[in-house]
Amino acid sequence: MTKNKPKILVTNDDGITAKGIRILIAEMCKLGDVYVVAPDKPQSGKGHAITIDAILELKPQKVDGDAIQEISCTGTPADCVKLAINEVLDEKPDLCVSGINHGSNSSISVIYSGTMSAAIEAGIEGIPSIGFSLCDYSTTADFSQTQPYVYKIAKEVLENGLPDGVVLNVNFPKVSEEKYKGFKVCRQARANWKEKFDKRVKPTGKEYYWLTGVFENLDKGEDTDEYWLAQNYISLVPIQFDLTAHHMIQKLNTWNLNE
């Protein structure tokens, strides 16, 4: 590896052979020395889960030849980052990028996302980090259209850094013939999933449930990720992993808790 080039860790939650991570790797190779530590199988929706009840294994991979070091991990996206930092790399990387996720991680989906949790785990370690997602669940989703934008965002982060405790959540809208209109820095929309559990019966007679749901955008603001994605803009939301509701501290101190 080249001494003076930035060291970039690439990971995801769709698995090391997924189309999105291959695009991400190709773009990061233009910016620095790339190391890949990613799940050996899809880990979507794992959130920030870590493995504490099973062993973890790392296995060298040759998905794209010998040009870069690629390692698959039997654990979650957060496990991948922890192992990369503590066991694979001899020093912390200059940047961690996660994705490109096959599907949206805008709005409330960020808290369920393995893609974003990997980026957040790196952010906790003080590493500038970005999570990338394409809002297209189709099996034929075209990730190539994101390439110049992924490069541009990562380059800016390498040059300018990110504040301590802040990670970027980047979502690309689904477009067909149209082009992306540009970037919009915005806030996370207030939304949720209206969930439904489809109750089914196995041939053996045992009941089981299959989670389904409909995304509900409850936010009418014109400064949110959902709003701008609908206008074919790429959304950039700076997120933080300090979950303290600072505005509530003063109010809680008025409660009669110590009497």
Strand, coil or helix: 210:
strand
Instruction: Output the pTM of the full model.
Output: 0.93
Cα dihedral sign, 31-141-71-51: positive
Tens-digit pLDDT profile for residues 217-230: 888 999 999 999 99
pLDDT at 2 over 60: no
Contacts 24+ apart (CB under 8 A), 174-177: 174/134, 174/135, 174/136, 174/141, 175/145, 175/232
CA distance 48 to 34: 23
pLDDT tens, position by position, 159-213: 999 999 999 999 999 987 678 999 999 999 998 888 888 999 999 999 999 888 8
The confidence score (pLDDT) of residue 67 equals: 63
Of 80, 69, 68, the C-alpha closest to 39 is 80
pLDDT surpasses 60 at 51:
yes
For residue range 12-48, list pLDDT tens digits in order.
999 999 999 999 999 999 999 999 999 999 988 889 9
**Smallest Cα–Cα separation from 45: which of 177, 161, 211?**
211
Sorted by where each begins, the domain ranges of the chain are: 7-189+220-252
As a dihedral over the C-alpha atoms of residue 173, residue 168, residue 29, residue 146, rounded to 10 degrees, the angle is: 10
Q: Which residue is associated with the tokens 């233009």? A: 30
The CATH H-level superfamily of 7-189+220-252 is: Survival protein SurE-like phosphatase/nucleotidase (3.40.1210.10)
Measure Cα distances from 87 to 28, 37, 61, 122, 167 in Å.
21, 11, 16, 14, 23
| Residue keyed to tokens 């409909």 | 214
Confidence of residue 3 (pLDDT cuts 50, 70, 90): low
> Hunting for tokens 């769709």 — which residue is that?
14
